[in-house]
Amino acid sequence: MTPAAHPFGDPQTVEVAPDASDPAVVHVTWKVGAADDLTLLGIHLGVLPEDRVMLDGAIEYDDGDAALVQQATEVHAYLLEHVEVAAGGRDCPGRVEASGDLIADGADLVFTCPQPTAVATLTVSTLTDLHPAYRTLATGPDGQHQVYGADAPTHDWALGATTTTAVDSTTTSGTGSSAALQIGGVLGAVLLVALAGTLVARRRRRATPTTPNP
């Protein structure tokens, strides 16, 4: 029985940043959303036993799962397979520089590109192999943000001084409804739509003739 994923809880997150001293280096910090996601990942990678999966697909969780999974070398290999950086059409080799509490602190991945780069292409497909509804909320320099998902796994990030012009930081694509409500840029759009609806309603009320009282 395939384990049941829980992609509608706290989302996983990614933070993208340039290196302070080497413009060819890109830093990516990945954090999982919740402890039950780590349990699912641990079963998927063989770190936790398959008998945790019940006959109906439900998962038996344990408080110690997170510690076991985050210490496993299989997780490092998984992250380097599902978090990728490229620049100028060339792949940037990566390594896991630090990995602790994957919920609170996350794993720090370092990618070294063939040459200094002002724009890096980051592909994130973590957990979408467990369930396509998983989303990753990503942030970068100068307020850039993106929602990654199975239908939108790749995005360009501006890392140089011309961040605001090199990449349209307000554009997101392929966002799911569950993740859209968790990101500030999309929330702003929702508020604008609500405001527009209010103005239209007011105009309609003003345009409707009133019947005088007898």
HEC string of 134-188 equals CEEEEECHHHCEEEEECCECEEEEECCCCHHHHCCCCCCCCCCHHHHCCCHHHHH
φ/ψ of 7, rounded to 5, equals: -80, 0
- Residue 71's pLDDT is what? 85
Low-confidence ranges of the chain (pLDDT < 50): 1, 162-214
pTM exceeds 0.95? no
Tokens representing residue 181 in the block:
């409500």
**Helix (H) and strand (E) counts in the chain:** 6, 10
- Residue 55's pLDDT is what? 63
> Which residues fall within 8 angstroms of residue 185, CB to CB, at 6 or more apart?
145, 170, 172
- Residue 5's pLDDT is what? 57
d(C-alpha 12, C-alpha 198), whole Å: 34
> What are the CA-CA distances from residue 209 to residues 118, 199, 202, 212 (Å)?
59, 18, 13, 9
- Residue 49's pLDDT is what? 80
- Residue 167's pLDDT is what? 43
- Residue 54's pLDDT is what? 67
